[in-house]
Amino acid sequence: MSREHRGTGWIVISGILLLLAGLGLINTGAWALHANSSVQATVRGQLLFSDNNLDVWGWIYLIAGAIVLLAAIGIFFRAQWAVWTGIAAASLSIAIEFLWLFTPYWPQALVVIGLDAFVIWALTAYGLNQYQYE
């Protein structure tokens, strides 16, 4: 197997996982933008980043989801910017999931941490062009 095609399966799985994560973020953002009208009617006087201001969080999730989705597509073509974006997104996701470890949602947090660790491993082991200088 040539060095260019080494680890292609791991890259594809990482791209699929990031694609699903991006679609999930976009779905959450769309829900937050849609649900904001029902929350706005019950809450008055809110901060920009409060848990009741779903418009801001909806846009944050939509933008983050679009970035992760584009990175996932770029990973299939082994674009270096996409690999680095995927590593950064999975690292940030791990940091956020650690906050959920001491809640009733800890099993889900452990699964996400494991999948994120796998994505980081696969992208660093096979996604970076470590052979381009040989």
> Which CA distances in Å does 105 have to 18, 100, 101, 102, 123?
21, 6, 7, 8, 27
What is the predicted pLDDT for the residue at 4?
58
2 in a domain, yes or no? no
What is the predicted pLDDT for the residue at 2?
56
1 in a domain, yes or no? no
62 in a domain, yes or no? yes
Q: How many CB atoms lie within 10 A of CB 38?
A: 9
Burial of 47 per CB tally in 10 Å (0-12, 13-18, 19+)? exposed
132 in a domain, yes or no? no
3 in a domain, yes or no? no
Cα torsion at 71, 73, 78, 82 (round to 10°)? Answer: -10
83 in a domain, yes or no? yes
pLDDT tens digit sequence for 40-53: 555 555 555 566 67
What is the predicted pLDDT for the residue at 132?
46
Range of the domain at 68: 8-127
User: DSSP label at 125?
Assistant: I
Number of domains into which the chain is organized: 1
**pLDDT less than 50: residues of the chain:** 131-134
